[in-house]
Amino acid sequence: MKLSEKAEEILETLWVEVEEEGAGFVDLEKLRSSSDDPVYRELNELALIEVRDGRVYLRPEGKVEGRKIVRRFRLSERLMMDVFNIRGEQAKEKACQFEHLLNEGVDTKVCTMLNHPETCPHGKRIPPGECCLEAKRSGDLGVLPLTELKPGDEGEIAYIQTEDDKKMQKLMAMGVLPGNRIRLSQAFPSYVFKVGYSEFAIDTNMAREIFVRK
């Protein structure tokens, strides 16, 4: 089922209003379009929505589709912020354009790459997909920043992600190199960890940049 961009946006708004805000329907005026817009015929024919007396209702099939669309939008928001480092209004705008590309399995890839995030950058829940449930079932935590480890946890350093060259070199000099075993012994007030037989302490900002595979 391939929807037009406009149809996807309407479904998204509807889903958020109905599923998250608890509304029963959405007024047509609120969607800022008239009822003779062809998009409604498209959605109606696919049995996703129902328009009655100037009110738009979400059908059960529409709920399933809307959920997927919201998921794609929030995933692309995460992608914009976490990976491309685009923020603010621009991030939202780009995410809006990007979400339409995330179908046919691309969303699964992005979701896995982002390590199955649970919330969007604004703190709203990202509806979990099949891949998230699968990851949860198999207990695969993927790659986590050191800050997410619990004291006593051990893992292998996967990579270091920093824009600061000096920081990178300092960490590497301390033996924080991909492939080395790392054991976190304390997370507050500073992160204390062991690599080999040496013990180190670093602050949160540095710990955030070390990624560990458990």
Partner 1 sequence: MAFFKKKPSCHQYPMDASGGSCKKVALVGNPNVGKSVLFNALTGAYVTVSNYPGTSVEVSRGSANIGGRQCQIIDTPGMYALLPITEEERVAREILLNESPDLVVHVLDARNLERMLAMTLQLIEAGLPVILVVNIMDEAEQMGLSIDLPLLQEKLGIPVIGAAVAKKRGLPELKEAISAFDKGKHAVFGYSRRLETDIEEVTLLLRGNYNLSRKALALLLLQRDEEVAGMVRETEGDGYAEVEARVREKIFARRDSFHLDLSMERKGLVKGLMAEVFTAPPQTRVSFGERLSRWAVRPLTGVPLLLLVLYFGLYRFVGGFGAGTMVDFLEGTLFEAHFNPWITGVVKAIIPWAILQELFVGEYGVITLGLRYAVGIILPIVATFFLFFSVLEDSGYFPRLALLVDRLFKYIGLTGRAVIPMVLGFGCDTMATMVTRTLETVRERIIATLLLALAIPCSAQLGVIMALLSKFPGSLLTWFVCLLFIFLVIGFLAARIMPGEAPMFYMELPPMRLPQLANVFTKTYSRMQWYLLEILPIFILASILLWLGKITSFFEKMIEWMTPVMASLGLPRETAMAFIFGFFRRDYGAAGLYDLQTKGILNARQITVAALTLTLFIPCIAQFLIMKKERGMKVAASIGLFVSFLAFGSGWMLNQFLLMTGIL
Size of the site for partner 1 (CB under 8 A): 33
In angstroms, rounded to a whole number, what is the distance separating the alpha carbons of residues 120 and 134? 20
Nearer to partner 1, 23 or 195 (CB): 195
Min dist. Cβ of residue 212 to partner 1 (A): 16
- Beta bridge mates, 26: 56
**Rg value, the chain, Cα:** 22
Q: SS in 3 state form for 8-22?
A: HHHHHHHHHHHHHCC
In angstroms, rounded to a whole number, what is the distance separating the alpha carbons of residues 167 and 78? 25
Which of 33, 94, 195, 213 touches partner 1 by CB under 8 A? 195
Which of 154, 177, 208, 214 touches partner 1 by CB under 8 A? 177
163 binds partner 1 (CB under 8 A): no
197 binds partner 1 (CB under 8 A): yes
Query: How many C-beta neighbours within 10 Å does residue 149 have?
Result: 22
Min dist. Cβ of residue 196 to partner 1 (A): 6
Report the interface residues with partner 1, using CB under 8 A.
Answer: 160, 165-175, 177-180, 185-186, 188-190, 192, 195-203, 205-206
